[in-house]
Structure 1
């Protein structure tokens, strides 16, 4: 296999990450969220619009941006396409089911996950095109591209359907683990050749889009400890991909980068995260499960900087955005950190509810979704 030339530069029982971290703060003073400190903003961030898609409930909902459009959903069944420049709703659909994950889109088709393993795919006007089911709960956003809708269940099983017809093409089975985190473990396309996915147990794989067989499997980390709780070792978030390097992080394990053609490790460091990583040509950034943010050199894993001023604030997956690293927290604040040294350069408030998904970029508009059901569009000035 040689995926190098085709890579595009872009991102059992389940236990919730919150139950293992922030929710324990009432019993463990070490988990008390750090109060926010004042600073002089270095950039001005203006809120330019707000839209509503419905509350997340107990699920984790992620928006997706395709060009200037934003696609988002809420637990009550609402799916919407929004103009990222203005916040105007292009179309809004109410599915007669409760949703558990969303959304995936290629700009034309849009997919969401529903209760009891339901998969719903909408056309370019927001009308239902087809629906199907998978054997398990869907809590991660589907992927749409290369003529497929790719859906994963919480246990790591991945199913691929024909995008236009809903015909099942293949199913990839991962080894079952007795316990796994209830987190949004996403997937990433490697151009038109493979889908990259991490799994409970610490494994990372590149899966052939045509056959559903894996090109390679590689361990990001290995389970340790005696009890089943101590041995939870899930890959969290979606594998990041830049060029021929893919990076991933596990809970109670390691962060590392791999050659996406072969799965060969490039570098790995001890680390633990319940959210995920962001990556570009020079930097890999991740908050650990104490919400301490670390930036690593993408080529060798050397530590570039560390910021512990947001400790225990249940940070989202980061976004590398121009000169900033952008993350949301459990109180709905959006934090902008300097890519150079991790210092604060801006902070904006949303609706006060948690931001659990990575911010996305629609054109030149930064978009975040809160668990309270609001989408906010921001633009640095």
Structure 2
């Protein structure tokens, strides 16, 4: 079943895609509060807060000190400098002359910049367009899924509006205790497919295309020796979750559970079950031999050992081509919704909106970066920010 993306098609929007580096440079020009934290004893005495005209701002200083005095921060050393959003004036500083390793506290800069540039009520909508007429339940054209930078097409969002944020997050798959997000990783795509089915479309005499022109895709190295493709389309964080459980006995193959359950990637299971006594010499779980088929689907081998009687292990397979992954998944959920896609090239026509998902507001979008410190989201998030500002 071939799947396609439309990154080079002639019906792309007229704006130019931004490079990752140019957007990060653009964001660097936005004034924002910055802070850094490292473990040490408290050092609050060097704080200074000013208001307009350099008069002391004791109310601001008191609020900041109240946060730093929380019991969970006992033993921490703080360094911070805050600037007024409409000027370069420093309005609060603490140990500003000292050097800190910012680490993941720099993610506050990314999140704050996004809030300042886009606004707290901004929603990064995902839309689907048709490129031809619908007659008798048949779409004579393509379905185009346009990525709007929503990073929560993942099953993270619960019905009550809260997010699933497991610790450690699945994007840190080599970290002990990492688990899949939970929920249905395709729930948002299913909602879009249901809208299309309700519109009366039963057959698509065309293709499923994914428009990733919001910004240019590219490969980035993350922490823990992980390389990921950064893309404006992100389904399940562009990860296939693989949970590995021991087989029925020593020497037997392990049992793999895959989420989302898709034919996009075939994982060849070469993980063996070993005796519990041999756990110290177990081979780590490793993906090898990743191969691309002509239709864009993948075959990859998972090797390693798992001790008998263990609670199981987890690894995340980061998909190399997120747009192909999304197109394949969307075609699968369309079929389950009763919409058959024939995968034949159709004539290009004017795009007409047929389905959309607004997604949660910006503060929710930022939580995987700020709450579970997702480096994948950190690398990605400045790019929807810059793309939407450019558009």
Decide: shared fold, TM above 0.5: no
More strand by share: 1
Q: TM-score of the superposition, structure 2-length normalised?
A: 0.25
More helix by share: 2
- Which has the greater radius of gyration? 2
Q: TM-score of the superposition, structure 1-length normalised?
A: 0.26
